[in-house]
Structure 1
Amino acid sequence: MWKKRIPLLLFVDIITCTLITFIGFALMYEGEGASYWRAVLIFAPVLSASTILFMLRYNLYQRIWKYSSVGELVSIFKAVTLGVVVSGLLFSILNWEWMDLVLLLFIFQSSLIVKGSTRFALRLKSDTYNKKGTGDIKVLIIGAGDCGSMVAKEIKQNKYINNSYPVGFIDDDEQKRGNRVGGLRVLGNRNDIAAVVEKHEINHIIIALPAASKKDISDIINLCKETSCELKIVPRLDDIILGKVTASSIRNVEVEDLLGRSPVAIDLEGIANYVEGKVVLVTGAGGSIGSELCRQIAPFKPGKLLLLGHGENSIYQIDMELSKTFKELQTEAIIADVQDRETLFALFGEYSPQVVFHAAAHKHVPLMERNPKQAVMNNIMGTKNVAEACDQHGVERFVLVSTDKAVNPTSVMGATKRVAEIIVQSISFYSNTKFAAVRFGNVLGSRGSVIPLFKAQIAEGGPVTVTDPEMIRYFMTIPEASQLVVQAGAFAKGGEVFILDMDKPVKIYELAKDLIRLSGFEPYRDIDIKFTGLRPGEKMYEELLTDAEGMSATLNNRIFIGKPMAQDIEPVMLELQHLEGIIRSDLSEVKSFVKRTIASQNRSAV
């Protein structure tokens, strides 16, 4: 569309330059005589040519004028100034006398006004600022800085939501309060959000604070969720720097924004030292944590990244993603099951991995209660197979991805993960491989987690199902958990259980209400919440340490070390052989045997 306007603008500039010349010289020569017409015929084409030349020099024919700002005004000033000065000099040379300064100033002033007004008329045509109140959806913008101003402009010009318009800003800067930014008034600070929403009947709130800390964002979201408004957020500072604040960059507020965590500090040098140039194997590479581990490891330039999993679709997807994002990275997609000991050992012999992240596991608590054999075979025997392969093939480091459900477990899944930790600690007692486990809580958005379930239930109109109003859980984001797992691997010396700082636990009931509000609904009014009671194997609250484990700090303030618990490998292996026999003969004994094994190992470690 803008390309079609270039000939029109060129035509307008030629006509206006000619008219300004006629008027200016008419005032000087009183519009009579041969000298008047001679001067006009010389100066008009010179002014048109020089002005257009400098307008081209400053790209003023390639601008999209509905997005124009002070920068465009400065460019117009420069182009007109240079055009008039050059025209005056050329006219003086051709006419053999200096051009009258008053006339030159008149032409400069007139040209500047005409060129500016024709361009900004295009901006005014697309700007809906003067159409206040024409939309039904009223938007409040939090943050009256550059980002907020750009968001307001985007809404007014493009209507990011159909039939919407911005009402005003919220900003904590008291000097802005009551003043106008882009024609919109700053209506108060964050403590005034609820009152402003009620007074102006706001429907949507957009948080336009891309440089604010995560804690500030979390605090503001907590204030906003007390209203019935739908929340949006501008997430990336890069978009503001590059001027990319558009409708597509404004996203829904997610539960992750409520956590208010500071960014994870990564020891780049420490990670590079043990990953760079090495053959790295990730088991369960197609899962939520496994695939994110691959994404976090890839930038540290491993020599080769082995992606092992038994689901061909998920392994294919992460392999294709990594190949596209990290073009120089060598990957190997391997379809195999950690329960297949023979195949696993053959793969270790073929590829000789130096660093192993073991993320393959069955993790769904109620499902594993109904399928204890598969939980034991995958989480216990699978871990034993991978750990023994690491030991026998001289792997440098092995990191087990564990869970807080392994602490004083009440479920089959938690118990099998605790036994997996015991296996790792036992083998570490005599192996040259540096074995470690990393323990953390629930991961937001992972497969089988509560967040996707709640979102699906909200999308269906409810009800949202919560087990108990008092149930609490620790939460982390997938990237956050994966980064800390990779970081913990740098601290491993052998036998440690690393505990990730999960911050404060969250009530599942409060989480459900937050998700409903963030979706633009009101709990119990629009979306009902029903309590279903604890499912088999579930706990009311989770723990991160057993009684026998102390806690010490690492160089990263988000990672702590549970005291290594040296285990004699022989009794552990004998118990595992017994367990294999039970699985094949009597499934009813599996749960009680696993519990006895954990209890005996905890007692021996004290």
Structure 2
Amino acid sequence: MRSFILLIVDVLIVIVSYFFATAIRFDLQESFIEYFQTIKSFLPYIALIHGILYKVFKTDKTVWSRISVDEALSVIVANFISMIIIIVFRLARLFPGISIGIILISFGIMTLLQEIMRFSYRVYRRKSLRNKRILNKNERIIIYGAGSAGHLIAREFIENPNLTEYIVGFIDDNPEMKGKTILGLTVFGNRKILPKVIQEQSATEVIVAMPSADYKKRKQIMQHTLNLGIKVRTVGSVQNLMKDNGVENSLRSLEISDLLERPEIQVDCSEINTIITDKTILVTGAGGSIGSELVRQIASYGPKALVLVDISETALYDIQQELEMKFRSGDLDRFDCVARIASIREEDTLERIFSKYSFDMVFHAAAHKHVPLMEYAPKEAIKNNILGTRNLLKLSDKYNVKQFVNVSTDKAVNPTNVMGATKRFNEMMLQSINQTSQTNFVAVRFGNVLGSNGSVVPLFQKQIKQGGPVTVTHPDIIRYFMTIPEAVSLILQAATYADGGEIFVLDMGEPVKILQLAENVIKLSGYEPYVDIEIEFTGLRPGEKLFEELLMAEEGLQKTENDLIYIANPIYFSEEEIKKSIKTLEKSLTVGPDAAIQALKNVVPTFVDANVVNQPKTEKEEQ
């Protein structure tokens, strides 16, 4: 019905335009009435021609509140083609008596009236929404970034009646943009003026719309804006904004990962495809933070079969059900997916799994990883992290697995705790067995991952939810951070470079002070540090050191094709030496926990006491 009415209105404008064109042609003399009487018999045919072209170009389907240049051009083209047809009919004497001048003048009049009618409605609608939002004292937003993303966001907020927020203007660091207007909104200036604009405009939120900017610049802008104590949202990309899900779903609250100073992770999917697609793969610790993300990303490359092993029934069930849902929804092509409750400590259980499936790759992510807990349970750490890994190494060699990828940690470098020492010994075992095995054994070493089970950010969020205080062990403690998907994508990429025996080291970016991290998490939660939520220092925990490392001094680094992945020069250990060390560790399990720790110190030469590492350096050492 609405389209029909719009079509009738456009056709009526055509008839009115011919009347005014006749009047203009005859300078409003009385004779124009007499002339118009002679041509009005042709007007129904002229109106029919225009009506047909309007339907062809769908000008009756235009949403006037959202009319753009494309829709405006459709009206012009429909009128122009109609004019050409009418002129041809006039020259063929099918419309005798109609002046070509009148046809040309009417084209200009009808096009102008139709465009004015459409755009006037859009302007009226925009103004009424704007005034309504001002009167209702709705949320007031500043858009940081006057580029294409900022333009799209502003237009959507201005014209979408379902969005109630009021856009007050733009901030942009380009000096040439200062004072310009976009969609009637002022570009106030650069970030230096942002605090003043927030105060003067009573802004309640800033949307950072700079998806194509350099990562360092984005991080600086987000940190600067967050420090102003105002709500901050951002957008991932212009492509997300242009999708049908709209601005509301494209914008998201600022996350702690946005404040990590590191370039965007880039991986070569074609290379990963070659090692994953149509392959049979085992993932241990498949229900954990890293293991479950490994499962998700491996599944996306279409393996032949994926076997998930974990000792945690709940965690394994969750990731299995997640895959089943993706199979049913069509998000993943179905492949053989098998979940097995098993402990890597049980060699017999693992042997049954290895003998049933001919694995091409093993991703080993199962481990006890909590540093303080392992300080009080060193025997359990040895049983699980070392002897469990030994079982997997033996079986991978025995059943001719093509590649074995061990998930390691920066805590394996000059370890000061039981967990790090067990991970370092795993690397030693791996490089030893690689010398005689047909399997390529490699390890990937990286730092902390944001949001993983037991990591610091979820702890801070829980403490904030309880009203504080947020606890930090030491004001100077630093850590390297990466998101779980980033870490896993680099693990897969590193696996494509493996020849055997390598320890791959991931570039974790700049180290982050945990104190600043705590302050940012508090700000992102809508509170002010030290005012709304206190921060308390609790002292370093057992085995914890102030500064984590990713590389031992003697290892050195080699570059790979990916700028974020390096290879540590291998340090080989003989098979006899490793066997002797394992016997030492096994013997310590029959005694007390102190004996286990001492055994670890004996077999891992770089294992040092945390108290020694955390001692402040002397003036001579710093020089």
Q: Distance in 2 between matches of 1:26 and 1:498?
A: 84
| Structure 1 counterpart of 2:3 | 6
Q: Distance in 2 between matches of 1:222 and 1:130?
A: 30
Alignment of 1:25-64 (within 5 A): 25=22, 30=30, 36-37=36-37, 39-43=39-43, 45-64=44-63
Structure 1 residue 30, shift from structure 2 partner: 4.5
For 1:157, the aligned partner's letter is E
Q: Is residue 2:512 matched to residue 1:512?
A: no
Residues 1:329 and 1:464: Cα distance change in structure 2 (over 3 Å): same
Q: Is residue 2:409 matched to residue 1:403?
A: yes
Aligned pair partner of 2:423 in 410, 413, 417: 417
Structure 1 residue 326, shift from structure 2 partner: 5.7
Q: Is residue 2:171 matched to residue 1:166?
A: no
Alignment of 1:188-267 (within 5 A): 188-240=189-241, 246-267=247-268
| Structure 2 counterpart of 1:427 | 433
Q: Distance in 1 between matches of 2:55 and 2:588?
A: 84
Residues 1:562 and 1:555: Cα distance change in structure 2 (over 3 Å): same
Residues 1:77 and 1:32: Cα distance change in structure 2 (over 3 Å): closer
For 1:377, the aligned partner's letter is K
Q: Distance in 1 between matches of 2:477 and 2:170?
A: 38
1:370-420 deviation per Cα after TM superposition (whole angstroms, max 9, x unaligned)? 444443332222211111110111111111001111223233322222222
| Structure 2 counterpart of 1:76 | 75
Q: Distance in 2 between matches of 1:406 and 1:133?
A: 58
SS at the partner of 1:227? coil
1:25-83 deviation per Cα after TM superposition (whole angstroms, max 9, x unaligned)? 5676958988744622421x233322232222223233333222222222221122223
1:259-290 deviation per Cα after TM superposition (whole angstroms, max 9, x unaligned)? 23223343455444443443222222232222
SS at the partner of 2:111? helix
Residues 1:56 and 1:466: Cα distance change in structure 2 (over 3 Å): farther
Residues 1:306 and 1:98: Cα distance change in structure 2 (over 3 Å): farther
| Structure 2 counterpart of 1:286 | 287
Aligned pair partner of 1:145 in 144, 147, 157: 147
For 1:66, the aligned partner's letter is S
1:150-199 deviation per Cα after TM superposition (whole angstroms, max 9, x unaligned)? 1112222337764x311111223322211111111111123433343344
| Structure 2 counterpart of 1:102 | 101
Q: Distance in 1 between matches of 2:81 and 2:438?
A: 76
Structure 1 residue 507, shift from structure 2 partner: 0.3
For 2:152, the aligned partner's letter is M
Aligned pair partner of 1:336 in 330, 337, 341: 341
Q: Distance in 2 between matches of 1:287 and 1:31?
A: 90
Residues 1:317 and 1:243: Cα distance change in structure 2 (over 3 Å): closer
| Structure 1 counterpart of 2:539 | 533
Q: Distance in 2 between matches of 1:458 and 1:89?
A: 77
Aligned pair partner of 1:361 in 367, 374, 379: 367
Q: Distance in 1 between matches of 2:64 and 2:58?
A: 12
Q: Which runs of 5+ in 1 are unaligned?
A: none
SS at the partner of 2:408? strand
Preserved CA contact (<8 Å) 1:160 1:247:
no
Structure 1 residue 542, shift from structure 2 partner: 1.1
Percent sequence identity over matched residues?
A: 38
Q: Distance in 2 between matches of 1:232 and 1:225?
A: 10
Q: Distance in 2 between matches of 1:214 and 1:32?
A: 69
Residues 1:96 and 1:86: Cα distance change in structure 2 (over 3 Å): closer
Q: Is residue 2:95 matched to residue 1:114?
A: no
TM-score using structure 2 length: 0.87
Preserved CA contact (<8 Å) 2:377 2:593:
no
Q: Distance in 2 between matches of 1:469 and 1:295?
A: 37
Q: Distance in 2 between matches of 1:308 and 1:49?
A: 72
**Most deviating of 20-29 and 180-189:** 20-29
Q: Distance in 2 between matches of 1:448 and 1:505?
A: 19
Preserved CA contact (<8 Å) 2:431 2:441:
yes
Q: Distance in 1 between matches of 2:55 and 2:558?
A: 66
Q: Distance in 1 between matches of 2:606 and 2:182?
A: 68
Structure 1 residue 98, shift from structure 2 partner: 5.2
Structure 1 residue 204, shift from structure 2 partner: 0.9
| Structure 2 counterpart of 1:127 | 126
Aligned pair partner of 2:157 in 135, 155, 158: 155
| Structure 2 counterpart of 1:464 | 470
Aligned pair partner of 1:314 in 315, 318, 331: 318
**Most deviating of 579-588 and 148-157:** 579-588
Q: Distance in 1 between matches of 2:188 and 2:398?
A: 68
Q: Distance in 1 between matches of 2:211 and 2:63?
A: 25
SS at the partner of 1:334? strand
**Most deviating of 53-62 and 457-466:** 457-466
Residues 1:449 and 1:126: Cα distance change in structure 2 (over 3 Å): farther
TM-score using structure 1 length: 0.89
Preserved CA contact (<8 Å) 1:50 1:84:
no
Residues 1:448 and 1:325: Cα distance change in structure 2 (over 3 Å): farther
Q: Which runs of 5+ in 2 are unaligned?
A: 609-623
Residues 1:168 and 1:103: Cα distance change in structure 2 (over 3 Å): same
Q: Distance in 2 between matches of 1:234 and 1:498?
A: 32
Alignment of 1:497-576 (within 5 A): 497-576=503-582
| Structure 2 counterpart of 1:393 | 399
Q: Distance in 2 between matches of 1:445 and 1:111?
A: 62
Structure 1 residue 476, shift from structure 2 partner: 1.1
Structure 1 residue 208, shift from structure 2 partner: 1.2
Q: Distance in 1 between matches of 2:83 and 2:163?
A: 45
**Most deviating of 65-74 and 588-597:** 588-597
Q: Distance in 1 between matches of 2:479 and 2:559?
A: 23
C-alpha RMSD of the superposition: 3.0
